[in-house]
Amino acid sequence: MPLDVQPRQLITTLYGLYARAEDGWLSVASLVRLMEDLGVDAAAVRSSVSRLKKRDVLRSEPREGRAGYALSPATLEVLREGDERIWSRPRATAADGWLVVVFSVPESEREKRHALRSQLTRLGFGSAAPGVWVAPGTSYDEVVRTLDRRGLTAYTEFFRGDYLGAGDVGARMREWWDLEAMAAAYADFVAGFARTPTDVPVDAAYRSYVPMLTAWRRLPYLDPGLPLEHLPADWAGSAARELFEDLDAALRRPAEKHAQALLHP
């Protein structure tokens, strides 16, 4: 695989791609076949599944006498939100303004403070000041859904508007986000997958597509869709997004055809 993709990450991708059409469930035998075709042996699959069970990503659920695992309800919701980020969400523009979130958590519930920080970081928010978090204005609906699902909205206040501070907003963004790390992640994706062949048999399409999507999945969370107007002219995210869209269009359908043959031999 071109990038360092972990087996548990591949499993999550496989469930997101192919298990939801199977009521969120895959048999152990089917999962092992899917993973072995990606070069991951059965022992590594079982070890990774064990970790995913501990995190309540998967739940053990035998069906019709077959051992298997189903996606937890919370993971199903996360995958649905991920679909929007990966395939549907347009990049914000300067005209969309900014979403600002501030929160106040009583000391007696400080674990909620940690949960809020973790969720906002995962959603791609930057930190403008202690307790002040910022993201593109287009983020509001997703953020509210996510925090509400985790019982955290009661501790937050939301504001949306323009940046009116001194100095260039692009310079401020370099303070709020680690743009160098973000650009490096995009560049790694391009370096890892730019030479991926697309006119290939369905089995080769599957072996390219699943790792590629797995590597891409985290990038729309690292970058919350920051406006290109405020980013460097040669922003690496533009080339990475174009490459992802080209590979997705070329490989997704043949990869699914091969996956279905593995699921229903």
pLDDT at 109 exceeding the cut of 90? no
Contacts of 216 (CB under 8 A, 6+ apart): 86, 189, 244
Q: How far apart are CA 160 and CA 163, in angstroms?
A: 10
DSSP assignment, residue 177? S
Q: Which band of pLDDT confidence, cut at 50, 70 and 90, is reported for residue 178?
A: very high
* Same domain, residue pair 230 and 188: yes
Number of domains forming the structure of the chain:
3
Show the domain range for 246.
178-263
Q: What is the pTM of this model?
A: 0.91
- pLDDT of res. 2: 57
* Same domain, residue pair 68 and 106: no
Q: What is the CA radius of gyration of the chain?
A: 20
Contact, 69 vs 59, CB < 8 A?
Answer: yes
pLDDT tens column, 17-33: 999 988 999 999 999 99
- pLDDT of res. 88: 85
* Same domain, residue pair 103 and 70: no
* Same domain, residue pair 132 and 57: no
Domain boundary among 59, 74, 89: 74
Contacts of 134 (CB under 8 A, 6+ apart): 98, 99, 100, 101, 125, 126, 127, 128, 176
Q: How far apart are CA 237 and CA 214, in angstroms?
A: 17
Buried b (16+ CB within 10 A) or exposed e, 246-259: ebbebbbebbbebb
* Same domain, residue pair 63 and 122: no
CA-based nearest residue to 210, from 22, 33, 49: 33
* Same domain, residue pair 185 and 259: yes
* Same domain, residue pair 207 and 147: no
DSSP assignment, residue 99? E
* Same domain, residue pair 70 and 103: no
CA-based nearest residue to 33, from 235, 242, 261, 229: 261
Q: How far apart are CA 83 and CA 224, in angstroms?
A: 14
Average pLDDT over residues 66-86: 93
* Same domain, residue pair 106 and 155: yes
The CATH number of residue 51's host domain is 1.10.10.10
* Same domain, residue pair 151 and 182: no
Residue 165 three-state SS: coil
pLDDT at 265 exceeding the cut of 80? no
Average pLDDT over residues 57-81: 94
Q: Which band of pLDDT confidence, cut at 50, 70 and 90, is reported for residue 89?
A: confident
pLDDT tens column, 211-264: 999 999 999 999 999 999 999 999 999 999 999 999 999 999 999 999 999 999
Q: Which band of pLDDT confidence, cut at 50, 70 and 90, is reported for residue 124?
A: very high
Q: How far apart are CA 26 and CA 170, in angstroms?
A: 46
Q: What is the mean pLDDT of the chain?
A: 93
- Residue 238 included in any domain: yes
Contacts of 260 (CB under 8 A, 6+ apart): 18
pLDDT tens column, 227-241: 999 999 999 999 999
